[in-house]
């Protein structure tokens, strides 16, 4: 099971590392990181640097493609070579997935046209510009295309994907191993649950 996660400058760290933590425990799976060019990329928060030894152009196929989000997606959607690579890799995947604004890259590749999909709540208009219909669900699946909402929802998506790749018992064992049993101190994790003041403050964070 070959799982590929592209990284790029200004990627959202939990978008990639949350699913990586889950999917790396799938029996028989190998998770690979790729970048536009081999070398160092820096996350969107600015303090995490990752040395990636493989350029995406070196990857011709994989079983799972997982595209994270982050501010860097706004530049990558203009990169015709990268978008064409996503489209080409998707042709042979078992599952093509995204977290947060990674869905914009799936949209730019033409994979979401006419489908319901999700993304970070602040990027809904950008997603719909690619022909998708936004829904605020945390995870949306259409056959082998799976999109997930902002940042932390990638963990939910990855657990569901782990079940699809193996079985429910294995996925639940991974959930137990990672002790993913969230009980957040506040109930403001979605637009529907937050006040205008909180939403306005949240917009300053990205």
Catalytic residues: 100
Task: Give residue 154's Cα distance to chain centre.
Answer: 6
With CA atoms as reference, report the closest residue to 167 among 65, 62, 30, 26.
26
Count other C-beta atoms under 10 Å from residue 187's C-beta: 8
- Tokens 């042709």 correspond to what residue? 91
Bridge partners of 41?
A: 50
With CA atoms as reference, report the closest residue to 148 among 16, 52, 9.
16
């Amino acid at each position: 099971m070959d799982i590929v996660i592209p990284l790029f400058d200004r990627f959202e760290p939990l978008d990639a590392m949350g699913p990586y933590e889950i999917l790396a425990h799938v029996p028989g799976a190998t998770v690979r990181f790729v970048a536009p060019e081999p070398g160092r990329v820096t996350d969107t928060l600015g303090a995490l640097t990752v040395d990636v030894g493989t350029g995406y152009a070196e990857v011709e196929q994989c079983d799972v493609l997982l595209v994270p989000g982050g501010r860097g997606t706004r530049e990558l959607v203009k990169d015709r070579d990268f978008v064409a690579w996503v489209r080409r890799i998707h042709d042979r995947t078992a599952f093509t997935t995204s977290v947060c604004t990674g869905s914009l890259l799936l949209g730019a590749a033409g994979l979401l046209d006419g489908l319901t999909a999700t993304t970070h709540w602040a990027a809904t208009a950008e997603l719909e510009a690619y022909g998708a219909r936004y829904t605020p669900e945390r995870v949306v699946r259409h056959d082998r295309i799976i999109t997930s909402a902002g940042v932390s929802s990638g963990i939910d998506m990855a657990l569901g994907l782990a079940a699809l790749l193996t079985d429910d018992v294995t996925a639940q064992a991974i959930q137990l191993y990672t002790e993913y049993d969230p009980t957040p101190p506040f109930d403001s994790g979605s637009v529907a649950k937050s006040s205008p003041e909180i939403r306005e403050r949240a917009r300053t964070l990205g």
